[in-house]
Structure formats: C-alpha cells, structure tokens
Amino acid sequence: MSADDLILTNVTKRFGGLVAVDNLSLTVQKGQIYGLIGPNGAGKTTVFNCITGIHPCEEGSIIWKGQEIRLLPTHKIVRMGIVRTFQTIRLFSQMSVAENVMSGRHIKSAQKLWHGIIHTPWSRKDEHKNWEVVFELLEFFDLTKYATAPVGSLSYGIQRRVEMARAMAVEPQLLILDEPAAGLNDNETQALIRTIYRIREKGITILLIEHDMDLVMEVTEYLTVINFGSKIAEGTPAEVQSNPAVIEAYLGSEDDDF
C-alpha cells in the first residue's frame, strides 16, 4: 500500500432516509486504471461526489496522500491533485476551446486579481507558462485545429475531449472520469481508450465509471461493482465478469450492458 493510494473505508452517504452509498470500502492504487461499475442508480456518481467533496459522506474515511479528506471542500481536494469530469459536459459554450482549457489553469496560477489590471514581468511570465501548458494539452488531445472555435459549435465527441483536456490542465495525480464514453461513436470510443492509456503513461491514476462494458473490460485493471450503494463484488475484469452476483444485478435491472 502506497501513500499515494486512494483509500475508502466504510463510506456511507445518506440523502434523508435514502442510503445512497452503504459502508463502501475500496483502494485505488497509484498508477492503476480502476473501474467503479454497477446498474443505473447504483450510487456510482454519489461515490465520486463523496471523494471530491461535492456531497461529503456522513460516515467512514477517505484517505488520499495519507490525509483524511472526507470533510475537505472541493477546491482543497482539487489542490491536492484529485480532479474529475462529469456525466454531463460542463463547458463554457461561448468560449473557445483554448479558453476552456485555460480555465482549468486558474488553480495552478499564482496570479492575483490585480494582475489582470496591472501586468508585471512576473505575471506575464506566469501567463506565458499557463498558455504553454494549454497548447501542449491541445496537441495531446488532438484539439489544436479547434483552438479558436467556440466550444458550443463543436460535436459532442470533441467537447468530451475538451473537458478532459481542461481536467488535465489542473495537473491531476488522480483523474476521475464519470462516463467518459457517453455519447461517443465507435471510432471516438477507440480514440478515448488510447487516450486513457496515454494519460496513465504520464503516471496519473485513473478512476472511472462507465457503462460501455467493452471499454471497461479492456482498459481497467481492477473493478469494484456496487448495487443499491453496496459493494457486491471486486476483482479483475475477468473475475468480475463471471461473478454470479454481478450477472444477477445486471440481468435484474434495466441496464443490460453487461
């Protein structure tokens, strides 16, 4: 076990009388591509919301870099290197692709509000560095030709790449992807798979939710399966795929992707 592992222990989240996450424990090891799967409504996104401070859990422990982060606000968790994307794309549609990616740099920039009014050699150097990062990411995600295009004018698949590029602009150590293949065609999904591998090659740990089981079985090294907020199985993709409890959970739901 590494100090850079993400460790959830007995995490429980309630909304009134509804238990959305029930006593969940899992460990995402440094450098892993880890999957969290389950039928629709199983509580997967709520787990991500607990990790990232959007909906803090009432019980349990969430350890990152050896520190308890369960009650930390989202911006502090981001500063510690945990960054996420969302099921529904959240971009600035009237802004350009480059500007959207640059918006992810605000938490890394040392500039203050007054630097937007009074430019100093130091602030110009900091801005130049931020733009260098942005253009490197545009190239990494094959977005350079769209750099000046308004995001709202682009296809859904391209917008997905912009969202991932913006998340990478924060320089995450743990990247959390919530259904990154949603709305993608087959070619875009294959490109996403290659991108996930390339991100991991940078030493970034990846935790993802995905309903495309072909993608999950191809890219993940370890999986946790939840249903009604509780863990019903964990293991390698091969182990999970043949687990009777997992098969029953999927066959007994409206989500038949498995």
- Residues 114, 164, single domain; the answer is yes
Q: Which domain holds residue 13?
A: 1-81+172-257
- Residues 176, 251, single domain; the answer is yes
- Residues 77, 1, single domain; the answer is yes
- Considering the domain boundaries, does residue 251 fall inside one? yes
Last residue of a domain, one of 103, 135, 170: 170
Predicted local confidence at residue 89, as pLDDT: 87
- Residues 77, 177, single domain; the answer is yes
- Considering the domain boundaries, does residue 86 fall inside one? no
Determine the Cα–Cα distance for residues 101 and 196; give it in Å rounded to an integer. Answer: 18
| Contact between residue 135 and residue 144 where contact means Cβ atoms under 8 Å apart | yes
Determine the Cα–Cα distance for residues 73 and 75; give it in Å rounded to an integer. Answer: 6
Predicted local confidence at residue 90, as pLDDT: 87
Residue whose entry in the numeric block shows the structure tokens 């991991």: 200
- Considering the domain boundaries, does residue 24 fall inside one? yes
For the segment 203-230, the average pLDDT, to the nearest whole number, is 96
- Considering the domain boundaries, does residue 87 fall inside one? no
Predicted local confidence at residue 11, as pLDDT: 98
Last residue of a domain, one of 153, 170, 187: 170
Mean pLDDT over each residue of the chain, to the nearest integer: 90
Question: What is the number of domains present in the chain?
Answer: 2
| Contact between residue 52 and residue 84 where contact means Cβ atoms under 8 Å apart | yes
- Considering the domain boundaries, does residue 88 fall inside one? no
Q: What is the pLDDT of residues 28-44, one digit of tens each?
A: 999 999 999 999 889 99
Provide the CATH number for the domain around residue 55.
Answer: 3.40.50.300
Predicted local confidence at residue 60, as pLDDT: 97
| Contact between residue 173 and residue 83 where contact means Cβ atoms under 8 Å apart | no
- Considering the domain boundaries, does residue 212 fall inside one? yes
Which one has a higher pLDDT value, 251 or 174? 174
| Contact between residue 46 and residue 55 where contact means Cβ atoms under 8 Å apart | yes
Q: What is the pLDDT of residues 143-185, one digit of tens each?
A: 999 999 999 999 999 999 999 999 999 999 999 999 999 999 9
Last residue of a domain, one of 141, 170, 199: 170
- Residues 25, 136, single domain; the answer is no
- Residues 146, 98, single domain; the answer is yes
Helices within the chain (DSSP H only): 44-51, 74-79, 97-103, 121-140, 156-169, 186-201, 213-219, 237-241, 244-251
For the segment 72-87, the average pLDDT, to the nearest whole number, is 95
- Residues 76, 179, single domain; the answer is yes
- Residues 104, 164, single domain; the answer is yes
- Residues 176, 253, single domain; the answer is yes
Predicted local confidence at residue 118, as pLDDT: 54
- Residues 50, 159, single domain; the answer is no
- Residues 73, 188, single domain; the answer is yes
- Residues 30, 73, single domain; the answer is yes
Reported pTM: 0.89
- Considering the domain boundaries, does residue 176 fall inside one? yes
CB within 8 A of 136, min separation 6: which ones?
none
Q: Using pLDDT thresholds of 50, 70 and 90, give the confidence band for residue 123.
A: low
Full DSSP string of 140-160: HTT-GGGTTSBGGGS-HHHHH
For the segment 47-75, the average pLDDT, to the nearest whole number, is 96
